[in-house]
Structure 1
């Protein structure tokens, strides 16, 4: 019987259509649905659609939905679920063109996050089983490149769309999402791996995997401030204006494009664990410098480095799961649990940072210093004695 990997070796182009579909899914559900909101924050406030406090909390609604969407993914079949979730995100874009109320907006941002959470669980489990082992890091980087493209696209598309008005901006994002959903519709592979309770019964989780869960959680807490507040920090905090804020966000997007494939390449050549250590050290330094940098050149350079992290860490963490857990069924189970820890801390961090931001009277630098501390905690966890590469409990 021909395995998916063997089939790919004999027909190397066969995997690129599913990878493209995965890229479209991550672009729509995370790259645009989450990150296009960030450059819109100053305009939403200035246009008086919502108050400054409400706008920031509406951004956190997407993070909460992301957490809810993770467990929901296991109740759906992969291919149809991915199609449905992309349609939900598209509908949310169109709905946000009409600021009927805070509740209306919160509900649609929440639904958008739920769809994004489900997609992030399902997309890797749907595509990667069809990829040869030696190419998994690069393939996962290509899939999650969609996040980076969405970030970069939000920085380049949102400013010209805003010249047409906020409503036109949301409608334009919805139209782009609809096109990408259509392009990916027939790209999903027919055979998918889906974890069920019978295929993957609960077993004790070994220390090395628990260590990864904890690291991934603190990574999530560390990436939120720049992800949510960077444009507002430059535009209003430093008084540089929306145009300079958008330029810095474009540089963040450039880093986000570079991150997934380069981090996946690192995982394939250095190993996931060594790559994670290197990336965390660089990120902690960059976030610390962000809190004290004020020139455009410094901010642009730091934005590239920091922007590589949110989409780049996904293929790295996934590669670490594959190092620790050889069994494919248990890989999906471990990956799902890792992303639940990520989503939980991301949602908690979103509301915590928002509350701290409002309580401090809009003081951005404190948030960046706290995020640097969270990244350092993730790095230190890798040197704990319970972090040995022993995952017997998930390999059987």
Structure 2
């Protein structure tokens, strides 16, 4: 049946796996070997990272403008196909630089569209009582995609960078086929009115609190999402085993992120859980400066991997639960703000590197920005009670 929890969960899981886990994070994981194999300069590699962030911003803005009707199915399919092709485009070296820039932008656009449109499809098709579990399983796909992108790292010398990209392309192709089959069942229901929660509220302070701290996390996450491998390999000069161990921990953490948020939210409610997650997030970024022991980089890798999908899932679900039918618009705004701040953060940290700022200073700046966002969340929700709108159901 089209509305079965399994099919909706699978659809959202695969969309997040492809759009965020693979299209966004595979480049970060494979960057060192790709840069070495293709002879890219550090500045060009950084440019490609910014190109992907720009594409994500474009995709988020585009998705916000799209109507919530049958056309969403076509955009999701096209995004999945274009994103999949972008993986294959990175498999060959020696091509003009603009080739890679264009495809990294396309990859970002695909990720932005999938990030907004796929959860909107689920919100429109699923039963109210099934929302929490379906979103939990679905957003676990982010961690699954990150884990897939890290599986090759211990064997990258044996299989070569080109084959690693082509293997990811093959995985993405299978995901595209499954998404297309599932979308055929959902398409006819896109014009129906989405279920509206009985506790739906007018836009208020809680949304802006979530928006501020979610945007702060976008800025704070940039050093880990773009420069973590470079920090481990060039600044700390870790062995390939040490670098691979950190990335595998990052992937395992990502796979557990949504589950951790789901478990905590069942016990403490959404808002309280977000306070806990963001507080730990600040610590996870800050401990990266303690480079005198591998233990601290392991902790930072695992926790930042875990917390990114955790806060994305729970922020998205909180907006859905509190604001009901306004979800697509508000989640588009949140994703657009996230993408904008992340792009600004990418450019800012690249500038700091160009003027000689070291990675410890960048981690401190990132943790400080997220701390400010977390403090405002605590302050403006200090009177928040355990009501149906703030509890996981």
The 5-angstrom pairing of residues 207-222 of structure 1 reads 207-222=205-220
**320, 323, 332: which one aligns with 1:322:** 320
Select the residue among 283, 306, 309 that pairs with 2:307.
309
Matched, 1:250 2:248: yes
Q: Give the TM-score normalised by the residue count of structure 2.
A: 0.87
After TM superposition, list the pairs within 5 Å mapping 1:282-361 onto structure 2.
282-325=280-323, 328-360=324-356
SS at match of 2:352: helix
Structure 2 unaligned segments of length 5 or more: list them. Answer: 195-201, 386-393
Q: 1:105: Cα distance to partner?
A: 0.7
Aligned to 2:152, what secondary structure does the other structure show?
A: helix
TM-score, normalisation: structure 1: 0.86
Task: Give, in whole Å, the separation in 2 of the partners of 1:353 and 1:195.
Answer: 43
Q: Secondary structure at the match of 2:237?
A: coil
Count of matched residue pairs = 371
Q: Deviations over 1:272-308 (max 9, x none)?
A: 2111111111111121111113433332233211111
Give 1:98 deviation, angstroms. Answer: 2.7
- 2: distance between equivalents of 1:62 and 1:159? 25
Q: Is the 8 A contact 1:253 1:304 kept in 2?
A: yes
| Cα gap change, 1:131 to 1:389, in 2 (>3 Å) | farther
- RMSD of the TM alignment (CA)? 2.6
Give, in whole Å, the separation in 2 of the partners of 1:368 and 1:129.
39
Paired residues for 1:1-396 under 5 Å: 14-73=4-63, 74-75=65-66, 77-99=71-93, 100-188=95-183, 189-190=186-187, 191-192=189-190, 205-325=203-323, 328-360=324-356, 363-385=358-380
Instruction: Kindly indicate whether the alpha-carbon contact (under 8 Å) linking 2:219 and 2:341 is maintained by their aligned counterparts in 1.
Output: yes
C-alpha distance in structure 2 between counterparts of 1:284 and 1:115, whole Å: 29
Q: Unpaired segments of 5 or more residues in structure 1?
A: 9-13, 197-203, 391-396
Any conservation in 2 of the 1:267–1:275 contact (CA below 8 Å)? yes
Q: Which moved more, 1:350-359 or 1:83-92?
A: 350-359
- Once the two structures are superposed, residues 56-86 of structure 1 have per-residue CA deviations (whole angstroms, 9 ceiling, x without a partner) of 2211211111110012224362222211111
Name the CA distance, whole Å, in 2 between partners of 1:62 and 1:388: 39
Contact conserved, 1:284 with 1:375, CA < 8 A, in 2?
A: yes
Provide the rounded CA distance (Å) in 2 between the counterparts of 1:148 and 1:29.
11
Aligned residues of 1:217 and 1:345 also touching (Cα < 8 A): yes
Whole-Å separation in 1 of the counterparts to 2:158 and 2:166: 13
CA contact (8 A) 2:5 2:134 kept: no
- Distance across 1 between alignment mates of 2:211 and 2:192: 21
Give the conservation status (yes or no) of the 8 Å contact 2:8–2:134.
no
